[in-house]
Amino acid sequence: MIYIQQAGINNIILTLSEKSLLTDPFYLFVFQNEYEIDSPLIKWATDDISYYKNRYNQFQLIEAATGSKEGGYDTPLSLCSGQYSYTIYESSTLTLSVNDTTKRIIEEGRMVVSGIETYDAEIISGDIDPNNWILRDGYWRDLGIWVDTEAFIDEIYK
C-alpha cells in the first residue's frame, strides 16, 4: 500500500525490480480514484532515486494543490484525499503511455491520500433531490458540485 500526504513530499518505496524483466527499467504509475470512478486516469512517471535498485525502488511524489490533476513526468500532482487503485508498468524509456511500455503489470495495489482538503462552496439553486446527495468531509456532493452543509440545508428547506 502507498500512503501519500497532501501538501508534501512523499517517498514511495516499493520492490519492483525483483519482478521486472528489463535491465534498468523505468516505471509508469497509473492511478485511479476509487471514489470518482469516472475521473480520468492519472499517469505519472519519474526517475527511480534508490541507491540499491536491485533491492528496492524509491520514487519521490510531490503532492500540491497547484500540481497536475492529469499526471506527467516528474511533476507535482494534485490528488483528492481518498483511496486510489494503482497499476505499475515497466518500460525501457520514460513514458506516460501504457502502449509504450511492455504492457506487463509489475504491481497493482491501493494508495491512500490523506490530508485536509478544502472545497470552494458553490451555492446551487433549482430542484434538489436530497436522495441523490451524499455527505463527505462535511460537504454534500451531487453531480460534481460541492456545497457546504448549511447552504445545502437552507436551499432544501427554503
Confidence (pTM): 0.74
- pLDDT tens-digit series, residues 37-82: 889 999 999 999 999 999 999 999 999 999 999 999 999 999 999 9
Strands (E), the chain: 2-5, 8-14, 26-33, 42-45, 57-68, 71-73, 77, 82-91, 105-114, 134-136, 139-142, 145-148
Find where cell 446551487 sits.
124
- pLDDT tens-digit series, residues 32-46: 999 888 899 999 999
Q: Which domains are present in the chain? A: 2-114 (2.60.40.10), 119-158 (no CATH)
Query: Hey, what's the cell of 133?
Result: 446527495
